[in-house]
Structures are given as structure tokens and as C-alpha cells.
Amino acid sequence: MRYALVSDVHNRRHKLVAVLRDAQQRGAEQVISLGDVGGEECLALLRAAGARAVFGNYEVSGWRHLQPDHRSWVQGWQPMLAEDSFMAVHAVPWSPEGLHTVTDFGQWLATTGQGWRALFPYLSESEDLLWRALAELESADKTILFHGHTHRQSIWCWRSQGRLSRVKASTVPVEAGARYCVGVGSVGLPEDGAWAAYTLYDAGAPCLEQVRLSRPS
């Protein structure tokens, strides 16, 4: 299976159109959205592409304003997807016990009085958070954690020797026995110089490819 992982569209429909077209041309068979999609048009594009999705903070705060069909779809999203070799989340692969839906997350925020970062921290802020994410991978016996939220592309790799290192290449063969935390980038509002960005994962190879699109002329 060849996956296209997209995140943080933030209602930039024209960028999502370009990313979905590019992913199709590169042979992506399954689109996975990692949250913070935006409004009706972007949700419709993802549904038409057969996307699977997890929710982000944007969905938690805004799902009630959607049209009924999209509202129902988003209410069915989970905070994490798990496949044979990877997990996919918006921010981090953990949350308070018993929280499974956008409604749960919203109610927890309202009743605890805590801020958004209690549920959606940035993995880029702390090496301790990266190590905790890797521990979750190890516990679940998965190889890769895909996340959005940071609006930046990144690949962190942990090998059995215990060394955590940042991988600078844009195309990365997945090593047996290693674990990876992969920031897939932002489609709509990248903060690392791209016009639009997303990540491809070929589970058969296996290989990661971080894709950055230029502004159309």
C-alpha cells in the first residue's frame, strides 16, 4: 500500500487540490488526513478521495458549525489510526483515558479548564515528548508515528543503539528494527518554506518520501 499523509489544510482548497493531484500522480492508493482540515469544500475533497482521517484541534473547536453530513463524518473520526506498521495522529499518540471523539475532547477541555496544549502538544518543542512518542511506538510494536500539528516536515529516527537522530534526507528507506517520528508537513500553512507539503509512505518498499510543492506559475 502506498499512502499519502496530509495535515493542516486550514481551508486552503487550492493547495489541497494540488496535493491530492500530485499524490495520485505519484501512485498513492490511500489518503490519510491528520486533522485541522477546514470547512466544507476541503472536507468534500477528502471524502471524494476516499480519505481516512483523525481529528485535530480545529475539528474539536469547529465540528458543530459543519453541515450535517460532514458533521456526522467528523464525529466518527478517532484521535489515532493504527495500521500494521504505523500510527497516525494529529499531535501525539496519547490522550486522557476515555476520550475518543471530538465531543469527548471538547467536553474534557470545558470541564477541566485546561488549555489546548494539554491535549495537543507540539512534538517539536521537547525531546522528552519525542522520547515519549517513541515509547508509545515501542509499546504498540509499530515502526512509524506520523503526526501533523507542527506545520513542519521532520523525520526523527531511533535505532536499537539508543541514539535519537534527525534525518535530513527527503527520501528515507525504513530500516528494520528502527522507529520513526515523522512530521508530515502542512498542506495549507507550512512553516518551513514550502508552498504545500505532505508525506508519502510506501509500506511495501518500505520507504518514506517528504514532498514539497512549489507555487504554480
- Please write the tens of the pLDDT for every residue from 22-46: 999 999 999 999 999 999 999 999 9
Give the pLDDT of residue 81.
Answer: 98
Give the pLDDT of residue 216.
Answer: 85
Alpha helices in 49-142 (DSSP H): 57-62, 68-75, 102-112, 127-140
Is 3.60.21.10 the CATH classification of the domain at 2-213? yes
- Please write the tens of the pLDDT for every residue from 112-127: 999 999 999 999 989 9
- Please write the tens of the pLDDT for every residue from 81-108: 999 999 999 999 999 999 999 999 999 9
pTM, 2 dp: 0.97
Q: What is the residue extent of each domain of the chain?
A: 2-213
Nearest residue to 2 via CA among 85, 71, 99, 59: 85
Give the pLDDT of residue 185.
Answer: 98
* Cβ within 8 Å of residue 68, ≥6 positions away: none
CB 150 within 8 A of CB 199: no
